[in-house]
Structure 1
Amino acid sequence: MVSTGSTDATPSSTDVPLVRVRGLGRDFAVRVRTGRFHRRTEVVSAVRDLSFDIARGEMVGYIGPNGAGKSTTIKMLTGILVPTRGLVRVAGLEPSRHRRVLARRVGVVFGQRTSLWWDLPLRDSFDLLRRMYEIPAARFAGNLAEYVELLDLGDLLDTPVRQLSLGQRMRGDIAAALLHDPEVLYLDEPTIGLDVISKGRLREFLRALNAERGTTLLLTTHDLQDIEALCDRVIVIDHGTSVFDGGLDRLRGIGGAHRTLVVDLVDELPGGRRIELPWESAGLAGAEVTRVEGPRQWIAFPAGASAAPIVAAVAAAYDVADLSIAEPEIEEVIKELYSR
């Protein structure tokens, strides 16, 4: 394991994670009413004992219920908040100590806030950011042209930000966060309030950004379709600490999650009978028919089990017209995880 000792030098090795968090915690003092005229101060841990690494080029979903500590984590990763304890390094830098330097290497989009100037045309906001980040003119022009095209902003450049719709402003915010070529992009609820079409375009853009530029993405969202569309890895946080860190397939396999084999028989079984198989045998344990509609039957089985033995057994015993497998809904998996 790489040492978690303090360092301010930027590592040169690509093996070193772009983001490293170890034992991170952040406390807040909260005044609590104890009587009509009395209050006392309590310490609330928004983040506690949080540890994870993010490699360059990863797309990671960072999810949890309201108040779990997601936004607090993002603010510590950007240097807006100073950790109460623990270690955090982004591109080898301690965010709270090197905030101005790190600002040139990261991009941030908060879905419910904007980094654009409310009364200025979108074009002027971009130009102000060019001056703030001291982006070379040629690089700025190239990036702006690319993002204006990909995010369909061409007709909006001369429109004041306050006149943009939420979806248009969000696209402008994402372009603004990328003009200086950040190594990592933090997205905090980027699709909140967007319609289906706007969400689809935004997801397509982010996939292309990661594939073509290798930009690392950390995405917090309550829309789990964003996670399924973009992320291969998920960190689930609850009460300020990580309760799961792994791939979507492993996430679906936890707890009581089930996959479903949907079987279309050639003919409906007499009397609406269910498919009957030796469910206690090896490879079929835990499977059961949960629903019947005419010739279609649904067989649920543990998410971590293989469907092959069930498919083989059904095909050997019945005349099958079609088969398909439905993965467990990620919303149900997350609910199961929280309930545990």
Structure 2
Amino acid sequence: MRTPRLPLLIKIAAAAAAGALALIVAARLRKEDAVASLRREIRETLAALVADDEGGDGDDGQSAGKEDASPPPPSVLITGFRAHGKSSLVNTACRALAAEDGPLLLRAEASPPGGGTDGTRRRRRVKAVVAGADGDGAGDGDVVELLDAPPLPDVMRCTREHIDDAINGANPECVVLVLRCDAPAKERNAAIKRLPEISAAVRNKGLNLIIVLTFKKAMRSIRQAEELIREVSFRARTDCVYFIENYTWSNNGPNLRHPPVIKNDFETHFTVLTIIRQCLEFIKLNRSQSKDKKNGEQAKAKPDEPKVQNSPAEAKQNAGNSITPV
């Protein structure tokens, strides 16, 4: 049996390499299309919210004399315990929404696990701009307001009053609670046991709760992740539970020559955009229900219009014009 000649083997190897490269490029394009599609859905939802607000503002022409004021952007409260990754989630969301590359730009103050101080922190309002199809901002209305709340007190010292203050102080339209997967077992279990109380406080405000589990790489197996998400879903009474690995400086290690370049990750981008998309869907439903309730109350409060009674002269004229049967 004759052995294949060397040029033929080279051609076969080149064809195989070209095929593998084509598959890699196709997979990358599919991922980019999925992220772009989510970003486009977010822009469309924001545009729908702005249109609904502009169409429903003003009762009996009261807003006709007012200046053209843009409606407030949808606001999402990001809360959680100290060093659980909530500020990093804000930075991750801003990076994904704006379609940024290169070094990580911080919008919220983040610190390594165990860092930071116990001093009081003010709530920060971060306006996350959504990039358009060409990578630039699509418009003034394409903004999501992320409320980076001060951390909740220690799990053992946190009370219902602290939880209510965190929610009521910001007046958000949706609440995202951040919990870390790699926390010590005792601390993590104590935080999970507080989920029913936190969930009740959020729902008492008439809002929806989303749980984000950070540091997902700490999960040693799929089974461990499934058990954790099942327990969190049960205690928080919600199916909106997500795993994510935030973008942080510490993930890339030190770089003495220049700031480290953060490589965008499809799973992180897709997850955080899905979280924002779900928040906007909840906000859209809540605004629609509030608008319907307001219209119903206005209809009940509006007095019935009195029937117009004809004057005696008109009544006599109508009687003369009536046709009597023969």
| Bigger relative contact order, structure 1 or 2 (CA pairs below 8 A, ≥6 apart) | 2
TM-score, normalised to structure 1, is: 0.28
Q: Give me the TM-score of the superposition, normalised by structure 2.
A: 0.29
Q: Whose strand fraction is larger, Structure 1's or Structure 2's?
A: 1
